[in-house]
Structure 1
Amino acid sequence: MEESAILSKFDHLVEPGLVLYDDKQQIVEHIDGNLKFRFILTSALAKKPTLTTGQPQTQSETTNTQDPEKREGSDISTAGFEIGVLDTHFVIANKFCFARPHLMLLTLDGHRRQYEPLDEVDLSSSWRLINSAETDYVAFYNCGPDGGCSRLHKHLQAMPLPANSFAAFLDSSEGREPETQVPFEWFYRRFEDDKAAVTPAALAEVYNDLLEKATAAGAGRGEHAASAPAGAACPHNMILTKRWMIVLPRRRAGINKEAGANSLGMLGLIAVATTKEIDSWVSLGLKESLAELGVPKSIS
């Protein structure tokens, strides 16, 4: 799956407005302590749906077999947005984008759910996708409503790797975490320079190890455990590049309707539709809010 072909299809969908992408989006920076937050202000997110209850919907609520735009069991309309297939997943253009391109990688099985942990085939398809691009890409997974997901059909997202996130130190030759640390628990692993050594099985082993640490850190933090459906993982975010993986536990998707974060938001890259959302973040306290959404280091 070549990057040039993906971009061509993506642009073809943006031109008539089927996919919403704001090429005039702005970057608004705020500094809290020694951490720099970058807000991506884009009109493309104005109509983006969210899961507001914090609880996974039942299958009967997410399945509409009479809707030709949705696969059986799925709550995501994909007809007309599909770009290609990778093993047991298919790639579509995200309808609400803050990057060019902004992709979704969905399981072919529409009954798979976003609160499940990732498995080897999820990671294998993600690894293939980000390594097929000439430029740097990032793939990420918002596990569960408390992890920031807005739809329940199991999917990852992928886009060009934004610059200047809290994790930028992992791209340096030393990979040494700066003294000014994030205010929440996170767990990461850098890969060896030999990409051939990063097999799907190796990725799954790294992910499961990091998820085990994240689950232990998040134990007893939040109310998800008592009401989680069978097979649900600890709410978490997974972020994957060609050089590293991060897994971090989550307690909440947002402080309020105007201050929520997905995987990249937890790395200081927060996409918003309005300046009111930025004002809400700032008034609540940037570092304090991320600590509330994750697991604060001070209480771990």
Structure 2
Amino acid sequence: MNHLQEPYLMIYNCGVDAGSSQGHKHMQLWPYQDREKIGFDLFPSYAKSTTDVTSDIPNVPHQHFVLRLAENAQVEEVVKAYAKLLHEVHKCHEQYGSTAYNVAMTKEWLCLIPRRDCGISRGAGSNAAGVLGLIWILYNEEKKIWLEPSLSGYMQFLGVPRSTAGLS
């Protein structure tokens, strides 16, 4: 990521329930738009620590595990961060019985999100970008699914709900 001239967001959907759209493994790189262009910061950007896993970012209704990456982080550092975050995802999976998760990364942070459902059966599927807050909707019927009973409720259905303690 450090070698790319423009900032990018990398996503990887680990499993069908994580919103993978293809039968083969692949990652996606998207130009990473800053707050001025998309109107908000993606929640992992609020993580502060490169050593302590952040899992309590306010207003995020689903489980998430984030580490900041050191400036110009080398491959070995990113692999260690990934292993640390994956350990947390596995603990969550043991409790909730899932195996799917999303990976999202910029050159500033790495985030893993445990998943329970891709949403296709309800008519509004989502990959890693969706559970980060980058939702695209083609039809009004999809919008209704995302918003009823609430956006937070649908995010909790897709991911693993956080306890309501600490949400604001």
Q: Which whole-Å CA distance do the structure 2 matches of 1:240 and 1:203 have between them?
A: 10
**How far does residue 219 in structure 1 lie from its aligned partner after superposition?**
1.5
Q: Larger C-alpha radius of gyration, 1 or 2?
A: 1
1:167 aligns with 2:38: no
Question: Matched residue of 1:259: which SS?
Answer: coil
Of 8, 17, 22, which aligns to 1:137? Answer: 8
1:206 aligns with 2:81: yes
User: Contact 1:255–1:293 at 8 Å: present in 2 too?
Assistant: no
Of 155, 160, 163, which aligns to 1:295? Answer: 160
1:238 aligns with 2:103: yes
Q: When the two structures are superposed, what TM-score results if normalisation uses the length of structure 1? A: 0.47
In structure 2, the partner of 1:183 is 61
User: Contact 1:169–1:177 at 8 Å: present in 2 too?
Assistant: no
**How far does residue 253 in structure 1 lie from its aligned partner after superposition?**
0.7
In structure 1, the partner of 2:151 is 286
- Identity of counterpart residues, as a percentage? 31
In structure 2, the partner of 1:47 is none
Give a deviation string over 1:38-83, Cα, whole Å, max 9, x none: xxxxxxxxxxxxxxxxxxxxxxxxxxxxxxxxxxxxxxxxxxxxxx
Structure 2, unaligned runs of 5 or more: 49-53
Q: Which has the higher strand share?
A: 1
Q: Alpha carbon RMSD of aligned pairs, Å?
A: 2.4
User: Contact 1:141–1:156 at 8 Å: present in 2 too?
Assistant: yes
Give a deviation string over 1:209-259, Cα, whole Å, max 9, x none: 10110110122424x5xxxxxxxxx31001010111001111111163422
Of 155, 158, 163, which aligns to 2:29? Answer: 158
User: Contact 1:138–1:160 at 8 Å: present in 2 too?
Assistant: yes
Q: CA separation of 1:213/1:190 partners in 2, compared to 1, >3 Å: closer, same or farther?
A: same
Q: Which whole-Å CA distance do the structure 2 matches of 1:178 and 1:295 have between them?
A: 13
In structure 2, the partner of 1:217 is 92
**How far does residue 280 in structure 1 lie from its aligned partner after superposition?**
2.0
Q: CA separation of 1:251/1:177 partners in 2, compared to 1, >3 Å: closer, same or farther?
A: closer
**How far does residue 267 in structure 1 lie from its aligned partner after superposition?**
1.2
User: Contact 1:255–1:292 at 8 Å: present in 2 too?
Assistant: no
Q: CA separation of 1:244/1:254 partners in 2, compared to 1, >3 Å: closer, same or farther?
A: same
Size of the alignment, in residue pairs? 153
Q: CA separation of 1:274/1:144 partners in 2, compared to 1, >3 Å: closer, same or farther?
A: same
Q: CA separation of 1:168/1:244 partners in 2, compared to 1, >3 Å: closer, same or farther?
A: closer
In structure 2, the partner of 1:146 is 17
Please tell me the residue identity of whatever aligns with 2:17.
D
Please tell me the residue identity of whatever aligns with 2:78.
L
**How far does residue 180 in structure 1 lie from its aligned partner after superposition?**
3.0
| Equivalent runs, 1:41-190 vs 2, <5 Å | 130-162=1-33, 163=38, 164=40, 165-170=42-47, 180-190=58-68
Give a deviation string over 1:92-149, Cα, whole Å, max 9, x none: xxxxxxxxxxxxxxxxxxxxxxxxxxxxxxxxxxxxxx33432211101100001110
User: Contact 1:189–1:245 at 8 Å: present in 2 too?
Assistant: yes
**How far does residue 290 in structure 1 lie from its aligned partner after superposition?**
0.7
Give a deviation string over 1:268-292, Cα, whole Å, max 9, x none: 1112222321122112421011111
In structure 1, the partner of 2:141 is 276
Q: Which has the higher helix share?
A: 2
Question: Matched residue of 2:6: which SS?
Answer: coil
Please tell me the residue identity of whatever aligns with 1:287.
S
Q: Which whole-Å CA distance do the structure 2 matches of 1:177 and 1:247 have between them?
A: 10
Structure 1, unaligned runs of 5 or more: 1-129, 225-233
